[in-house]
Homo-oligomer: A and B are copies of this chain.
Amino acid sequence: MEYMTTAPTSAAAPGPAGTDEPRWLSAEEQRVWRSYIEASTLLEDHLDRQLQRDAGMPHLYYSLLVKLAEAPERRLRMTELAMLAKITRSRLSHAVARLEKSGWVRRENCPSDKRGQFAVLTDEGFEVLRRNAPGHVEAVRQAFLDRLTPEQQKALGEIMEIVAEGLQPSEAGADLPWLR
């Protein structure tokens, strides 16, 4: 049905043929995968629109500002920010360039490593966050959290943690020199 996760033709019988037949998805597996993709598409779109309309930036950019706001001194090394946000350095570079143009972030050189750059949240950036946080939480609640029971929330959290774990660039994790 979905995502060509079942045999392209309706040929292949379940039993493994001589050639090692791919492990196509069962009907239930497909249902799960399909709902996941649909919901995540819709949700991302929804929040992007909410924030674009209210705060003038896409969801990812907003989340970058948030991470800066939470960091000590409201500043983070580019690479660390990229890792926290789960995006590539390149994407972050472009994003910060835009946020800088909007006046919400400023770059600063790292004194201890001349290659390094800090992304620093400006006061203006913080203001944007303060103004939009209430609306955004409300959006997240009404589209997502408030629709789930506490048990469902708990289950989902565990599930997504497992998935994330499997996809991290292995990240031995401990070694982030900048964190003292």
B-binding residues in A (CB < 8 A)? 1-5, 7-9, 22-25, 28-29, 31-33, 35-46, 62-63, 65-67, 69-70, 85-87, 126, 129-130, 132-134, 136-138, 140-145, 147-148, 152-164, 166-168
Contacts and interface: CB of A to CB of B under 8 A. Distances in A.
Question: Interface residues of A: mostly helix, strand, loop or mixed?
Answer: helix
Which of A5, A67, A136, A161 lies at the interface centre, i.e. has the most chain B CB atoms within 10 A of its CB?
A: A5
Contacts of A148: 159, 162-163
A66 B4 contact: yes
Given A23-B141, A137-B23, A36 B156 contact: yes
Given A37-B63, A63-B2, A70-B1, A42 B159 contact: no
Given A63-B37, A129-B8, A154-B32, A164 B22 contact: no
22 contacts: A3-B63, A5-B136, A22-B134, A23-B138, A25-B137, A25-B140, A28-B153, A29-B153, A32-B145, A32-B153, A33-B140, A33-B145, A36-B144, A41-B86, A41-B87, A42-B167, A43-B167, A45-B86, A147-B163, A152-B158, A155-B155, A156-B156
